[in-house]
Amino acid sequence: MPESDDAIDLLLAEHGLRKTHAAREVLRWLRRHQNRDWAHGELLEALRDSGGIELDRVTLYRLLDRLTQVGLLVCHVDAERVRHYRAVSDAVESHPRFECQACHRNFELTSGATQLEQAARSALKALESVGHHGLSVNLSVRGVCADCSPGAPAGRR
């Protein structure tokens, strides 16, 4: 599931970065593809071919540098001195989901999602401060959804 613009914007804002279209798309892409490291050229192609995002080489280099400087990406250099980037994963890995006990739908939360993610992030920071590392959180909320709650405003999620 893609992260919401809000979640990406929040990350950029928290790290003092401008919320440009390119910054959003690159960060979103890397956070969705955290299972491997990406070299600049591979990323450029992948963004274009599957993400539909056309960036010039220099823009992407600058962005990757900035995102690495602020700690949203980690960079490592291989034996051929090629730099590879990966999104930092010690964060909230997926968008909070809601599982309804009545209709058994399982959907991505929009209302309250940002607050849940912020709460989870500060909890992770606290855990890291006492030495735990490599942390991740999967947020899922159970209950009765708005559609199933009698008298609740329709369509509220």
- φ and ψ of 55, to 5 deg: -120, 150
Q: Give, as ranges, the residues between 65 and 104 that touch Zn ion (CB under 5 A).
A: 100, 102-103
Shortest approach of Zn ion to residue 97 CB, angstroms? Answer: 13
Q: Tell me the two tokens of residue 114.
A: 């940002």
Site track 106-145 with Zn ion (rule: CB under 5 A), x = hit: ---------------------------------------x
Which residues have CB under 8 Å from 63's CB, separation 6+?
22, 23, 26, 55
Measure the CA–CA gap between 138 and 151, rounded to whole angstroms. Answer: 30
Count of residues in contact with Zn ion, rule CB under 5 A? 5
Shortest approach of Zn ion to residue 108 CB, angstroms? Answer: 14
Q: Which residues bind Zn ion (CB under 5 A)?
A: 100, 102-103, 145, 148
